[in-house]
């Protein structure tokens, strides 16, 4: 298989605050809008790649500030979700979309299995292999840790104005999401979604399913509305606002017994 990435292309992942001591690993699946040079921008203009279809706007800046505030390591993906989505099963629904929110992606049309595998090999598996390596190190000696994936979402989708400021996405392990929901709702000004605007119970969910569930780690995803974190300063401000709730929820999760919800 010919390598997709060449000299000058960014790496498929980056690790930040790798010496962080918190019992928490942060991830950002859609941290970048980068495209390998060989794919020529996927046939899209830079303006299109900068939209929400290309990455989670503000997600990386918020995750980076959370990493600092919580002293937690962060693993961030290196390429646009339109190259290959790091939170979708490779080859499955939404993994390499031909159309995203009404925008056709020319370079994603009619890919062969060899082309799909090349993208996964270059941009998907290295990121997830690093997540596994990081979790192996953090859980050495039986240490308990939590996993939190940071995403962002559009303020409107298909004509529906989304009222939530933040959302907590989870499946059947309540240890981290339940206390996180409770802590966030202490702020009466916040509209907090429980598996809104998306659900971690969706069949396409990859990251939490692949990494946290097999290890029985407390886990969930945190979604922040994009119009709140459009600029780096706004993202940092919201991260500082959310950090105390996350810190308290992690402490509660690590003290709780693992009893999956019905």
Q: What is the pLDDT of residues 84-109, one digit of tens each?
A: 999 999 999 999 999 999 999 999 99
SS3 content of the chain, % helix, strand, coil (to 5): 40, 15, 45
Q: Report pLDDT for 158.
A: 82
Give mean pLDDT, residues 132-140: 97
* Tokens matching residue 171: 């499946």
CB 153 within 8 A of CB 225: yes
Kindly state whether residue 217 falls inside one of the protein's structural domains: yes
Local structure of 102: helix, strand or coil? coil
CATH number reported for the structural domain that contains residue 200 in this entry: 3.40.630.40
Give mean pLDDT, residues 61-88: 98
Q: What percent of the chain has pLDDT over 70?
A: 98
Number of structural domains (the chain) is: 1
Q: What is the pLDDT of residues 229-254, one digit of tens each?
A: 999 999 999 999 999 999 999 999 99
Kindly state whether residue 6 falls inside one of the protein's structural domains: no
Regarding pTM above 0.85, the answer is: yes
What residues does 26 pair with on adjacent strands?
Answer: 74, 148
Residue 258: count other Cβ atoms within 10 Å of its Cβ: 11
Interatomic CA distance for residues 165 and 138, integer angstroms = 31
Q: Is the pLDDT of residue 260 over 80?
A: no
Kindly state whether residue 31 falls inside one of the protein's structural domains: yes
For 111, the domain range is 13-255
Interatomic CA distance for residues 226 and 8, integer angstroms = 30
Give mean pLDDT, residues 45-59: 97
Kindly state whether residue 261 falls inside one of the protein's structural domains: no
């Amino acid at each position: 298989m010919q390598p997709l990435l060449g000299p000058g292309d960014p790496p498929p992942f980056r690790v930040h605050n790798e010496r962080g001591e918190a019992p928490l690993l942060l991830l950002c699946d859609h941290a970048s809008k980068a495209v390998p040079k060989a794919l020529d921008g996927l046939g899209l203009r830079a303006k299109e790649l900068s939209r929400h279809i290309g990455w989670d706007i503000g997600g990386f800046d918020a995750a980076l500030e959370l990493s600092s505030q919580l002293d937690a390591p962060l693993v961030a993906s290196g390429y646009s979700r339109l190259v290959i989505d790091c939170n979708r099963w490779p080859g499955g629904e939404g993994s390499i979309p031909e159309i995203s929110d009404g925008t056709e992606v020319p370079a994603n049309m009619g890919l062969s299995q060899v082309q799909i595998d090349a993208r996964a090999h270059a941009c998907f598996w290295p990121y997830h292999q690093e997540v596994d390596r990081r979790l192996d190190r953090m859980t050495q000696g039986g240490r308990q840790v939590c996993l939190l994936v940071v995403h962002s979402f559009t303020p409107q989708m298909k004509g529906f104005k989304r009222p939530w400021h933040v959302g907590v996405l989870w499946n059947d392990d309540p240890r981290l999401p339940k206390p996180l929901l409770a802590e966030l709702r202490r702020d009466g000004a916040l509209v907090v979604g429980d598996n809104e605007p998306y659900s971690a119970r969706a069949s396409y969910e990859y990251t939490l399913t692949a990494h946290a569930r097999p290890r029985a780690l407390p886990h969930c995803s945190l979604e922040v509305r994009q119009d709140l974190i459009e600029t780096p300063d706004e993202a940092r401000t919201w991260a500082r606002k959310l950090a105390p709730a996350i810190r308290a929820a992690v402490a509660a999760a690590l003290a709780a017994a693992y009893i999956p919800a019905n």
